[in-house]
Chains A and B, each alone.
Chain A
């Protein structure tokens, strides 16, 4: 008869997961003891936050639940930021924590913490296992719930005695359930095709807004087919990047606080906004009261709690986008649509298509353009949080729908390096570039050791402006340049630090005399980084006071975005 720990690994394998991320401790030793021969590869990160972000990266690259493991007490609490992050960004995640022995629960035992209670508000579902026999069913439900509907994090807390105990008679596995009933319900219910077609036909300035939901539903192909049919201007949230074909003439790029001038202007002008799988958070809408002020909203969304949250939608279409997008295409049919070419040309036209020309002279943008041009289509960019993240998103042009990975909803600094580990393990043949700032990299820099140990050829582009740049930018623009506690001019020698972990790299310094302020040999440096079969650091010493534009100040309408020149004056 198997022990509880063996049942855990067996469940993980049965879910098709071959790689998990974790960090051992007293309450999970039995789990680690049973690891060998389980068929599961365990990646030892150097911090539990590294494990949970790596599991998120793995999940975001594969679309399946990532698994993170931690011991009771501090191990478990170190997972919390990652769990909240997965919740905000709809990432399927199964966290397994060890707990003190069942008979000690509630006694404030050594390393006892109520991780179940602490994570209730940020998990979709959770269980404190009460007996070894429960393990198979709890694990099965954990994966099912993490991956179904709007994906998200779940937590399974297992007392150490349940991991050690030998299971008696196990309850028979429940007959396989599919969500066929739910799917059939969605399909059979009348799709509001007539109402939608009528709205489209009345619209003079329709616009599509695409979010992560489209990718999570695996509905990128029907989305692209629909947009090709409609030929209306379309923008993406940061998590929607890659969903719209980059070369499409109607692609407006990213919307929101640092979105393109074209996308935000069109959002302000549209009279019919079709939202596909986006929850319209405040970084996307600006002042919600002045968001798309002239628009009727049609909202396609799997998570019905997001409908009507910001503004009542004229037409709410809950359900899986993999079902509703084809229904939408079908409803529109082959009948001619209104001629929106004038509006499309205005919205996507040259005078709006780019930011102010001066913004393009920011060397970081130029460097990113050149980096992206060298990357194959199936590459992954994993961006941390800050100015570099927004630059990386603004210039992202790939058609790989899962290719841009970042912490969007929670905005967790320290996400990118461990997440890149998960991505690279899930996609060993793809190029994975981690883009991080000098602040965020130091939040999980210990994961360089994991990269080295696993020989992962991750490329690290470190944008070093010697500031907590994004906060400094706000201080510059809105707090009279009071750069309180954002100075990082005493940063460590990152190249030496990387070398200490066994990772080589080189420094790319600005060259005021060079093209776009960059040295002539930067192409060689980029290629050296990308062609190296080993992990490699490129330390880009960016101008300390370079800013991200356009920028919609917090609480302003999208139409009130600052362009570079305005802010300077």
Chain B
């Protein structure tokens, strides 16, 4: 369990996903998700399941692990509600170390990931 954090702001997730002006804010958009996790039994599948249980398709998935941790990168078309739900689910998983801010590839293909 991640240590509790006290915050005063509404979900960062909701704010992060504001689309460019003129686009339907609820429409699914290609996002790159990235998460670091303890590479223990079942951890990767739990992470992937948080995406697939929402009926979303994977465009690509890459997982690699070194001695310290595993890193999952997945490209998925998802709407803001799904993105927020997936990140929230991930953050409370026992084996998750860090969830990076998903990158909207339709908008900012080169943006570097940031921790949320």
Contact = CB atoms under 8 A, between A and B. Distances in A.
Given A303-B92, A305-B88, A309-B88, A315 B4 contact: no
A306 B85 CA distance: 9
Interface string A477-488: 000000000000
Given A312-B11, A316-B7, A304 B2 contact: yes
Interface string B18-48: 0000000000000000000000011001100
A319 B7 CA distance: 10
A334 B91 CA distance: 37
Interface residues of B, number: 27
Task: Name the residue in A128, A189, A195 with the highest tally of chain B Cβ atoms < 10 Å from its Cβ.
Answer: A189
A80 to B, nearest CB: 15
A271 to B, nearest CB: 17
Nearest to B11: A308
A319 B84 CA distance: 20
Task: Name the residue in A128, A148, A149, A320 with the highest tally of chain B Cβ atoms < 10 Å from its Cβ.
Answer: A149
B84 to A, nearest CB: 7
B3 to A, nearest CB: 4
A105 to B, nearest CB: 13
A192 B91 CA distance: 22
A140 interface: no
Contacts of B53: 121
A309 to B, nearest CB: 7
The secondary structure that dominates the B interface is loop
B41 A315 contact: no
A503 interface: no
A148 B46 CA distance: 19
A289 interface: no
A191 B5 CA distance: 10
B1 interface: yes
A191 B7 CA distance: 8
B4 A182 contact: yes
A128 B62 CA distance: 24
A52 to B, nearest CB: 20
A379 B63 CA distance: 52
A1 interface: no
Contacts of A318: 4-7
A182 B4 CA distance: 7
Task: Name the residue in A181, A185, A304 with the highest tally of chain B Cβ atoms < 10 Å from its Cβ.
Answer: A304
B14 A312 contact: yes
Contact of A149 (B1, B13, B42, B84): B1
Question: 10 tightest CB-CB pairs across the interface, nearest first?
Answer: A149-B1, A319-B4, A308-B11, A312-B10, A305-B88, A182-B3, A189-B6, A305-B92, A186-B4, A185-B3
18 contacts: A116-B41, A117-B45, A120-B45, A121-B53, A127-B41, A150-B1, A186-B3, A195-B8, A304-B4, A304-B91, A304-B92, A305-B89, A307-B88, A309-B85, A312-B10, A316-B9, A316-B10, A318-B4
Interface of B: 1-11, 13-14, 41-42, 45-46, 49, 53, 84-85, 88-89, 91-92, 94-95
Interface of A: 116-117, 120-121, 124-128, 145, 148-150, 179, 181-182, 185-186, 189-192, 195, 302-309, 312-320, 323
